[in-house]
Amino acid sequence: MKPKSAIADLLVQEIPGFSLESSELSFEELGVDSFAMLELRAAVEHAIGAAVPDDVWVQLESPARLLSHCGETAPRAASGRADVDVRREYALNMPQMALGGLSESWLFKELGDAHWSMITAGLGAPSSALRDGNGERLYATFTRLRIEASAPLATFEENDEVVLEGRISRFGAGMFFSEMVLAGANRRVTASIMSSFTKRGSPSSNTGLLKGQPSIPPDCRIPDLSAMPDFGKGYRERRNGTLSPAQFETNYDIVPYHDINGVGLLYFAAYPTISDICELKYMGRGNQWALDASTVSRDVFYLANSDAHERLKYRVHAKKETPGGIEIESSISRGSDGALMAYLVTKKVVAGA
């Protein structure tokens, strides 16, 4: 199949209702959002066997211009790659613990750091040096993180020895996926992580972040997937889905000293903590709920960021009983404009239930 015809087929698959008759319309007019464009770019680069430079990609504002470009692009030769792995060992002590068990906050931070370290190792550059093709600084943006534990996090104990192992892959140059396992003391936590890159649309605000991607070096050791993995497809479905009516809502004021990370963005690891703080209000059991309930799984879909002064809105959309516990579906939005920032599915068990 020639590259141009392959791209025409991709456009039909990726854009609902698309036909070649509408190819002169812009992607914006066709309703293609930033994440869909990121996914389309990866699929296009796979189909033509060549990277599309940033300065060229931003000029391809319509399917017609994209098709024209792909008809002129020569395929690149495939290169062999080896997996990039991470392995870390810990003894669980106070920094890794909370409420007598494994700290979920620490776990999210450590998983994120391990994921990010594999990316920078594969790209051969420290995080502060990552730039797009136009030289603009790129920031890691976690788009989905899911953990599933074989036992409640509270069952991990002080001085337990655990090992974290992980492997990373990518889909094109813009999306990275890792699978990790934290195991020890006959317990394990599996984690799936998806991330992309953003750059600032404005130096003074986090609400206008733009999608970006780094240049992939020829010797990159991160394997390139041939298709979007199911974990990424699940993110896309959630991103395009609608929320059920809220059963409960409350406000949360960002705490800059804790919630904002080193580059001035709302830290991805703060989202579960924000959810837990607001969940306490919802459950109406005072501090006892926090002492009795322990996470067994959490799935966070990250959709947007916010400025440090924001007042956030937390909502509960669904709650159901599970064996020995509860599952809550919730969301976090910006108070200033109502933009949805995250959707969370959290399962906890209750001690003594």
Task: Write down the pLDDT at residue 7.
Answer: 76
Q: What are phi and psi of 275, to 5 degrees?
A: -60, -45
Q: Where in the chain is the domain with CATH 3.10.129.10?
A: 79-231, 242-353
| CB-based burial, 298-330: b 16+ in 10 Å, e otherwise | bbbbbbbbbbeebebbbbbbeeeeeeebbebbb
Give how far the C-alpha of residue 280 lies from the chain's centroid of Cα atoms, to the nearest Å. Answer: 25
Give Cα separations from 303 to 119, 248, 249, 264, 340 (angstroms).
Answer: 21, 21, 19, 17, 7
Q: Where in the chain is the domain with CATH 1.10.1200.10?
A: 3-71
Task: Write down the pLDDT at residue 101.
Answer: 94
Measured at the CA of 125, the angle between CA 119 and CA 129, to 5 degrees, comes to: 110
Task: Write down the pLDDT at residue 83.
Answer: 55
Distance, first Cα to last Cα, the chain: 59
DSSP 8-state class, residue 43 = H
Q: Which CATH number is 79-231 given?
A: 3.10.129.10
d(Cα 222, Cα 309) in Å, to the nearest integer? 38
> β-strands 101-102, 97-98: how paired?
antiparallel
Mean pLDDT, 10 residues at a time, the chain of 353 residues: 65 75 79 77 74 73 76 50 77 94 97 95 91 87 96 95 95 94 94 92 76 88 92 94 96 96 93 96 82 95 95 97 93 96 96 62
| CB-based burial, 204-218: b 16+ in 10 Å, e otherwise | eebbebebbbbbbee
Task: Write down the pLDDT at residue 17.
Answer: 74
Asked if 96 and 106 touch (Cβ cutoff 8 Å), the reply is yes
Task: Write down the pLDDT at residue 78.
Answer: 44
| Homologous superfamily (CATH) for 242-353 | Hotdog Thioesterase (3.10.129.10)
Task: Write down the pLDDT at residue 80.
Answer: 43
Q: What is the pTM of this model?
A: 0.83
The SS3 of residue 223 is coil
Q: In a 10 Å sphere around its CB, with 0-12 CB exposed, 13-18 middle and 19+ buried, how is residue 185 labelled? A: middle
Task: Write down the pLDDT at residue 286.
Answer: 67
| Homologous superfamily (CATH) for 3-71 | ACP-like (1.10.1200.10)
Task: Report the interhelical angle of 63-71 vs 34-48 (nearest 10°).
Answer: 20
